[in-house]
Structure formats: structure tokens, C-alpha cells
């Protein structure tokens, strides 16, 4: 990428951030129908500005605290943290990526992946992972993928991810509202416990 291309992307980042700021000033909150808040992360990754990703994430978390995220965002944060040597955070967001979509890591590593008979929350379907994989490959690095290939074979990764899958398998066939509520609480607790690790 040339200096001119990098500057063009930086200009786009500034423009999109300014649009978000103006929106909040005008409406007292964000509408962001254009999805600028998400695309800015991708632009930082295009110019390999991992510090920019993390700095912007702090602003994002403060202003969009109720945003549920996506597997693509979690992967961006995992890669950026890994490349900055923030290993606790890299592990947290890697596991969070799996919570968002259990198939994505296998596809990233070019492994055979089969659908799991479990409750689907939306982002966590195999078809969704396949539709996302080319974009994910663009933002991952060889060093991250080499590390990922080892990390997904550890108990540190497998214990929470396998528990997440097991809970969603139970949730799929549970019709009792009270029991479903307890399973959903367990899943939420698992996700919060993971984020508390970083």
C-alpha cells in the first residue's frame, strides 16, 4: 500500500469519526445507519494500525456500551491485541470470537467444519461464518493464525468454548421457560467470566 493510499484511508477514518461526533452533537445520541462505527475498525486494520484499533475501541466501548458486537469485530480486536503483545486480551477476544461463531476459527485455519446441532443466536451459524471468511482472512496475520492453531488446542480455549457449545445444545431442545432462562443465564455468565479475564 502506498503512502497516498494510507493517507486516503486515514482521511476516511477522520471523516467517519467526525460524522459520528456530529451526529451525537445534533441528536444527543447515535443513529449511524451507515455503520461507520463498525467500518472504522476495518479501515484501521487495512493500514495495519493496531494501536488505532485499540484506541478507537476504548471510544467505541464508552459510546456503544450496549452494542452486542459480532464475530468479525471480536476477531479484529483479537488480532490487534495479539500483534501489540497484549496476550491476555488477545485470548479473551479469541474466545469471544468463538462464542460469537464457533465455526470461524476452523474455517480460518482451513480445517473441515461440520454444523453443530445447537441453538443458534444469529451470528453463530456455519453459513454466516462461510459468508464472512474472506473478509476475516483479509484482517488476520500469519503470526496470529500460527498462534491460533496452537491456542485452540489448549484447555484455556477448549474449556469455555466446549461449555458454551454444551449449554447451547441443551438450550436447543429445552421448552421449559424457567430452565431456558437458567441456561441463558449460564451462557451470559460464561461470556462475562471470559471478558473479566483480560
* Model pLDDT for residues 44-94, shown as the tens digit of each residue: 999 999 999 999 999 999 999 888 889 999 999 999 999 999 999 999 999
Amino acid 190: pLDDT: 96
As a whole number of angstroms, the distance between CA 94 and CA 152 comes to: 9
Give the pTM.
Answer: 0.93
Amino acid 181: pLDDT: 96
DSSP secondary structure of 86-122? -HHHHHHHHHHHHHH-TTHHHHHTT-------S---S
Amino acid 121: pLDDT: 81
Q: Give the cell for residue 198.
A: 483480560
Structural contact between residues 194 and 159, judged by C-beta atoms closer than 8 angstroms = no
| pLDDT beyond 90 at 197 | no
Look at residues 5, 59, 68, 43 and name the one whose alpha carbon lies nearest to residue 135: 43
| pLDDT beyond 80 at 198 | no
Q: What is the mean pLDDT of the chain?
A: 94
Q: If you average pLDDT over residues 19-44, what whole number do you get? A: 89
Q: Given pLDDT bands bounded at 50, 70 and 90, which one contains residue 161?
A: very high
Amino acid 123: pLDDT: 86
Structural contact between residues 38 and 68, judged by C-beta atoms closer than 8 angstroms = no
Amino acid at each position: 500500500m502506498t503512502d497516498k493510499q494510507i493517507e486516503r484511508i486515514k482521511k476516511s477514518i477522520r471523516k467517519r469519526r467526525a460524522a459520528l461526533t456530529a451526529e451525537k452533537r445534533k441528536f444527543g445520541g447515535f443513529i449511524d445507519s451507515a455503520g461507520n462505527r463498525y467500518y472504522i475498525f476495518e479501515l484501521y486494520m487495512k493500514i495495519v494500525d493496531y494501536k488505532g484499533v485499540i484506541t478507537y475501541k476504548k471510544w467505541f466501548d464508552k459510546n456503544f456500551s450496549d452494542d452486542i458486537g459480532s464475530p468479525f469485530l471480536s476477531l479484529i480486536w483479537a488480532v490487534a491485541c495479539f500483534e501489540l503483545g497484549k496476550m491476555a486480551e488477545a485470548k479473551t477476544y479469541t474466545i469471544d470470537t468463538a462464542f460469537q461463531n464457533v465455526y470461524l476459527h476452523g474455517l480460518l485455519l482451513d480445517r473441515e467444519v461440520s454444523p453443530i446441532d445447537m441453538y443458534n443466536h444469529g451470528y453463530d451459524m456455519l453459513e454466516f461464518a462461510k459468508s464472512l471468511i474472506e473478509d476475516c482472512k483479509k484482517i488476520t496475520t500469519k503470526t496470529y493464525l500460527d498462534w491460533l492453531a496452537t491456542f485452540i488446542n489448549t484447555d484455556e480455549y477448549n474449556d469455555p468454548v466446549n461449555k458454551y457449545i454444551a449449554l447451547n445444545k441443551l438450550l436447543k431442545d429445552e421448552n421449559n421457560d424457567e430452565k431456558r432462562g437458567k441456561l441463558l443465564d449460564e451462557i451470559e455468565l460464561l461470556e462475562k467470566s471470559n471478558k473479566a479475564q483480560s
